[in-house]
């Protein structure tokens, strides 16, 4: 039970922003929200994580709803290399992956 809900797939054009949504309505107070991505034939790659406040790093931004029941991963300018499966995970320690969102980026 991944306990998060994501769209199966999304599409974007290169150099446009991408907003990847995630619902985690049963999240507990100690769960962090993690985002990982996975390219074909590679291990997952950490993207970003947060607890309550919005977070920014060099790869992306994470916007967390005030009630923490949903979050959005923001890629500010998509590139072809961002095409991957994106996993939203609520976690305290081990990661429980769901199906993720397949992001397609068009040139």
Q: Which residues bind other proteins (CB under 8 A)?
A: 2, 30, 32, 34, 42-46, 49, 51, 85, 87, 91-100
Complex with other proteins: residue 49 or 72, whichever CB lies closer:
49
- We find the least distance from the C-beta atom of residue 79 to other proteins, in angstroms, to be 21
Complex with other proteins: residue 40 or 107, whichever CB lies closer:
40
Complex with other proteins: residue 78 or 100, whichever CB lies closer:
100
- We find the least distance from the C-beta atom of residue 69 to other proteins, in angstroms, to be 18
- We find the least distance from the C-beta atom of residue 102 to other proteins, in angstroms, to be 11
Burial 11-25 (b: 16+ CB within 10 A, else e): ebeeeeebebebebe
């Amino acid at each position: 039970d991944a306990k998060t809900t994501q769209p199966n797939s999304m599409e974007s054009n290169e150099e446009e922003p991408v907003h990847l949504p995630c619902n985690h309505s049963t999240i507990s107070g100690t769960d962090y929200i993690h985002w990982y991505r996975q390219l074909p034939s590679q291990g997952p790659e950490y993207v970003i994580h947060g607890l309550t406040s919005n977070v920014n790093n060099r790869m992306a931004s994470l916007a967390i709803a005030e009630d923490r029941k949903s979050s959005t991963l923001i890629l500010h300018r998509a590139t072809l290399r961002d095409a991957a499966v994106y996993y939203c995970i609520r976690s305290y320690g081990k990661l429980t992956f769901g199906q993720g969102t397949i992001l397609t980026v068009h040139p």
